[in-house]
Structure 1
Amino acid sequence: MISYAECSARERLALLLDPGSFHEWLPPAERITSPHLAQLGVPSAFDDGVAIGRATLGGRPVFVAAQEGAFMGGGVGEVHGAKLVGLLQRALRDRPAAVLLLAESGGVRLHEANAGLIAVSEVMRALLDVRAAGIPVVVLIGGANGCFGGMGIVARCADHIVMSDVGRLAMSGPEVIEASHGVEEFDSRDRALVWRTTGGKHRWLTGDCDALVEDDVAAFRAAAIAAIGTTKPLTLASLEDEHALLNRRLHALPADSADNADNVGHDEATRLWRALGIADAEQVPELPVPALRALRVV
């Protein structure tokens, strides 16, 4: 077993894809760097924190992008975003069997705030164009930095999300919530709380990811192969189904009240799991992945 979380972006590509099949576009040798970071005196990376290219997976042609969490937390800037958009637009022309996004990002770089925000919106539009063309987009989340901010939104626009139990997915990161609303609202240093509310187990139980796997590159590879060739309809009906799921989740959680004995001693995530019909919800964080997969009721 090789830990997906401990691999770099290029290590994941080498281990996940068919051996020797990855051909990188705009590799580090091209020295395509962010102009904004240089102006601010911030160190740059010659690939701007993302590797893109074509490969085969299980013998089928795929386009793939892998974000490098070790460079600026996988943050999206102008060049980083443009590489993702270019990959997706080329997919519309060449029509691979699928597009894979190995996401690891804290969101938009603060150094390139406006450019990064525009880039994320362009990535979302390009991704939805690819889906509308019938090409599945599969997002893999299992890196140490998780998938937050704009990339969290991008991930939820995809056909399929594969997460490990150590992966994390959300709109706002724990530190952002704490900075905005105080430690009483969310203690970002409480690792157990962070994983209960943003981790792969929680996302699986609430229906926010399509496959939950071990922290193992081989498990991610198998889940990605299984997702190739299957798309989800991008229609008004599918959007209404998603809204209905969110509405059920919102109303499943009982009102927080000191008089409600069921709420005493349980955080919101645990109470939500219980409300969704999961027995022994308090044991969820300790359960192995195979046992947890059997508990999903949504």
Structure 2
Amino acid sequence: MSSSMSSYLEANARQRIHALLDAGSFEEFLPPSLRITSPHLAQLDTPASFDDGVIIGSGLLQGRKVLAAAQEGGFMGGAVGEVHGAKLVGLLKRAINERVDGVLLLLETGGVRLHEANAGLIAVSEVMRAVLDTRAANIPVIVLVGGANGCFGGMGIVACCANDILMSEEGRLAMSGPEVIETTHGVEEFDSRDRALVWRTTGGKHRYLLGDCSAVLPDDIAAFRQAAFETLLRYQEKSAELTLTDLEAEHILLSQRLQNFGQFSEPMDIWSKLGVAEPEVLPMLEAQVFMQRVAGSRAGEQS
């Protein structure tokens, strides 16, 4: 992998998936040569992509067999339409049939493709169900978020249905994007032009401290590769299934979060409440230093 492709943020979807998996191991399903495109975009005279903005296939992750998908943020912001969603669902169903070691979802998306409206919404709901079916088959689903567009909308919910989310500081994760919040509730509620605020609120560091992601990684594909492998290994010792006990624990965590932090509008106040010393320095820390500094300060981990 050349130095120009070492950055997860700067790489495109195809570069990410090839660099993440063992060299030469990736086999793409439904490649662009088959020209499977969205019928809805054609009806609207909108440019299409021959892979509909998502690359899917099989490969090896340090010798473990996995299925993987990577959304292309450069095509409609990685938004999900009918074909795009069907490819993800088919991949997850194939994971169950083939009993692979895990599924990697490299998500970079604003959510549903507005051009396809209801078809996109249905597609996202089917992806959610497929993720949970995959977990019920004891196959872990690991989400990677580090692209420029972040992971928003319905796919943000999909990410939270997975076993683990790995993020870089540059990645962002939320239901509604900053521009959507500003448009619907006004700039006083959320100023989408305040980039520092956007990253403090939706970026990897804040998501880690709230317990929404498993790790904050450097902007480096090799770091994502190693973290994904280590996460996969953990599921050799524990079940990947989402149980009722897990759901009940999640509800307790969310209730505690609302009780403890509901009055705050500034993430740094939450970090301080979590016991982080000098929270104002966190945005400037490199990923490894950040992880060391906040050890034991995550929501739900305090005694």
Q: TM-score range with shorter-chain normalisation?
A: over 0.9
Kindly report which structure 2 residues correspond to 1:108-127, keeping only aligned pairs within 5 A, or say none: 108-127=112-131
CA distance in 2, matches of 1:249, 1:288: 26
Q: Which residue of 2 aligns with 1:30?
A: 34
Q: Which residue of 2 aligns with 1:290?
A: 288
Structure 1 position 238 matched with structure 2 position 246:
yes
Q: Which residue of 2 aligns with 1:255?
A: 263
Could you list the structure 1 runs, at least 4 aligned residues long, displaced by more than 3 angstroms after superposition.
none
Contact preservation (8 Å) 1:252, 1:276: no
Task: Compute the TM-score of the two structures, normalised by the length of structure 1.
Answer: 0.94
Letter in structure 1 aligned against 2:256: R
CA distance in 1, matches of 2:256, 2:203: 20
Residue-by-residue CA offset, 1:20-73 (whole Å, 9 max, x unaligned) = 100001000000000000100100000000000100010111000000000000
Residue-by-residue CA offset, 1:253-297 (whole Å, 9 max, x unaligned) = 2736xxxxxxxxxx5211111111111111111122122112042
Residue-by-residue CA offset, 1:179-216 (whole Å, 9 max, x unaligned) = 10011110111100000000001111111001211000
Distance 1:143 1:177, change over 3 A: same
Structure 1 position 181 matched with structure 2 position 185:
yes
Q: Which residue of 2 aligns with 1:69?
A: 73
Letter in structure 1 aligned against 2:112: V
Q: Which residue of 2 aligns with 1:197?
A: 201
The answer for unaligned runs of 5 or more in structure 2 is 299-303
Offset of residue 237 of structure 1: 0.9
Q: Which residue of 1 aligns with 2:11?
A: 7
Offset of residue 236 of structure 1: 1.0
CA distance in 1, matches of 2:106, 2:262: 36
CA distance in 1, matches of 2:88, 2:241: 23
SS in structure 1 at match of 2:18 = helix
Contact preservation (8 Å) 1:100, 1:137: yes
Structure 1 position 83 matched with structure 2 position 87:
yes
CA distance in 1, matches of 2:100, 2:10: 29
CA distance in 1, matches of 2:165, 2:261: 24
Q: Which residue of 1 aligns with 2:301?
A: none
SS in structure 1 at match of 2:65 = strand
CA distance in 2, matches of 1:232, 1:172: 28
Q: Which residue of 1 aligns with 2:225?
A: 221
Task: Compute the TM-score of the two structures, normalised by the length of structure 2.
Answer: 0.93
Letter in structure 1 aligned against 2:257: R
CA distance in 1, matches of 2:245, 2:91: 28
1:209 aligned to 205, 208, 213, which one? 213
SS in structure 1 at match of 2:144 = strand
SS in structure 2 at match of 1:6 = coil
Letter in structure 1 aligned against 2:274: L
Distance 1:254 1:72, change over 3 A: closer
CA distance in 2, matches of 1:115, 1:239: 28
Letter in structure 2 aligned against 1:283: V
Kindly report which structure 2 residues correspond to 1:143-158, keeping only aligned pairs within 5 A, or say none: 143-158=147-162
1:141 aligned to 126, 141, 145, which one? 145
Kindly report which structure 2 residues correspond to 1:47-62, keeping only aligned pairs within 5 A, or say none: 47-62=51-66
CA distance in 1, matches of 2:263, 2:224: 38
Aligned residues: 288
* % identical aligned pairs: 64
2:22 aligned to 18, 22, 35, which one? 18
Contact preservation (8 Å) 1:166, 1:200: yes
CA distance in 1, matches of 2:216, 2:253: 19
2:271 aligned to 241, 252, 273, which one? 273
